[in-house]
Each structure stands twice: as C-alpha cells, then as structure tokens.
Amino acid sequence: MHFKTWLQLKGIHQKDMADTIGIKPSSLSMILSGKTKPSLEIASRIEQITNGEITRMDLLYPDETEPMEKTASPKRGTILTYELREKLLKG
C-alpha cells in the first residue's frame, strides 16, 4: 500500500504525520509525491509508527511489489536481490 493512501484511509493529516515522524511537512510531501525517497532512518520511523503497515521496503523500493526472483525478468543493472536488500534493511 502506498503511504499516501494509508494516511487517507486512517484520516491522518500530512502535517500531523510529519510532526510525529520529526520532519518538515514539505519533506513528507516530497516523499508522498515520489519526488524523493526517505532516508533509512525516516523509513524505519514510518514503519514503526504505522505498526508495519507501511514497511521500509514500501518506502525505499515502491516499484517492487514482489520479489525480483518471481518476476519474469529482473531489471537490468540490479545488483541486490530482494531478500538481500530486506536483510540489509533489518541490519
């Protein structure tokens, strides 16, 4: 699920979420519009605040909805597999 959709479904205002995350509303707006990706730290905060309903993977890799190994052909130039990225993000 996209973060913006999640906010709308929960009835949470962007300003309130930005305050909760600890970022400027304009920064959250850029993340929600897809103009920028959040840092790993911010993505982790969002995952924690949403109780895992929005994951770091959702935020950092929004175009990948399923593991690359299950897609017909991986994107050219991709070095890390879905599982390896997930493992790295878990630290």
* 42-63 pLDDT per residue, tens: 999 999 999 999 999 999 988 7
For residue 62, which of 83, 34, 25 has the smallest C-alpha distance? 34
- Please give the share of the chain, as a percent, with pLDDT higher than 90: 62
Torsion of CA 55, 56, 61, 67, to 10 degrees: -60
DSSP code, position 34: T
pLDDT at 5: 93
For residue 50, which of 90, 10, 91 has the smallest C-alpha distance? 10
pLDDT, one tens digit per residue, over 21-30 is 999 999 999 9
DSSP code, position 74: P
Alpha-helical (H) ranges within 11-66 are 14-21, 25-33, 40-49, 56-60
Q: What is the pTM of this model?
A: 0.69
**Please, are residues 56 and 44 in contact by the beta-carbon 8 Å criterion?**
yes
